[in-house]
Amino acid sequence: MQPITLPVTPYAVTDDTFVIPTIAAEPAGTFIAAHSLLIRGAEPVIVDTGASLVRDVWAEHAFSVVDPEDVRWVVLSHDDHDHIGNIDLVMDRCPNATLVVNYALVARLAGDVELPIERMRWVNEGESLTLADRALQFVRPPMFDSPSTHAVFDTTTGMMWGVDSFGVSLPGEVYEIGDVPAEMLDASFALLNQWNTPWLEWVDPAKFDAHLRVTESLPVTAWASGHGPVFRGEQITDAFARTRALVGQPIPALPGQDILEFLQQVLLTPAS
């Protein structure tokens, strides 16, 4: 079944950096994001390649920002399906691009997703990729659900691709956290980030605080991610505070059979 998606267009986070959005409706009336990032720059970079169920729309949006033959780098943040869904299409349409990954990502996808090893570069946490007009620094994001995950910090613009961290439900086609109602932010930040990062319940607060300070200390001016809006300035500080507050908290129960039956009724019952 195809997701119900809003009509969206690329969203400029900085002068040359764009969120390539996918925003899908939930039956409950809220919306969830599955975004990618594109840095146009002197050596254009695609960060994550979206979900395959929205392949045609995703490609239309991404390649309205940059000619695919101009793309020089394709960065995969980790191995989840909604971040690698169109990697075959991207590498085929971007013949001059090098794929930037790490060993963990390649190993986890081996035998399932064929990646072009002859066009690959491995970059690890703590390392940087130097381009003609900027450097991209690879760091571990505050929260993550795969051991292969690395966030990407653009040292030129102050832009951080935070991957899955700071997920928030949306009231519609919304790109800035200031446009999310406070009650939706409060409820969904806790729920989405706890579900995606269940190990938060068991971490040592002091060690986790030291982990957070790695990204918190960077001069980030705009924080975008796969599953939420853009945070800026004090909004980033607030997001780190919300993240710290999740440590040691019990993880909310996942939806069960009753929710499945509701979804089946809503999604599978023919319209009258």
If one counts every other C-beta atom within 10 angstroms of the C-beta of residue 28, the result is 11
Instruction: Indicate if the pLDDT at residue 27 is higher than 80.
Output: no
Q: What is the pLDDT of residue 29?
A: 76
CATH assignment of 11-268, given 3.40.50.300, 3.60.15.10, 2.160.10.10, 3.30.420.590? 3.60.15.10
Instruction: Indicate if the pLDDT at residue 1 is higher than 60.
Output: no
All residues at 6 or more sequence positions from 253 whose CB lies less than 8 Å from its CB, including other chains: none
Average pLDDT over residues 124-150: 97
Q: How far is CA 217 from CA 54, 84, 142, 221, 243, in A?
A: 36, 29, 12, 12, 15
Task: Give the whole-number percent of the chain exceeding pLDDT 70.
Answer: 99
Q: What is the pLDDT of residue 249?
A: 97
User: Which residue, chain included where needed, has tokens 């979804």?
Assistant: 263
Task: Give the whole-number percent of the chain exceeding pLDDT 90.
Answer: 90
Average pLDDT over residues 4-9: 84
Q: How far is CA 222 from CA 83, 148, 162, 214, in A?
A: 20, 23, 10, 16
pTM reported for the whole predicted model: 0.95
The tokens for 48 are 């994550």
Write the DSSP symbol of residue 36.
Answer: E
The whole-chain average pLDDT of the chain stands at: 95
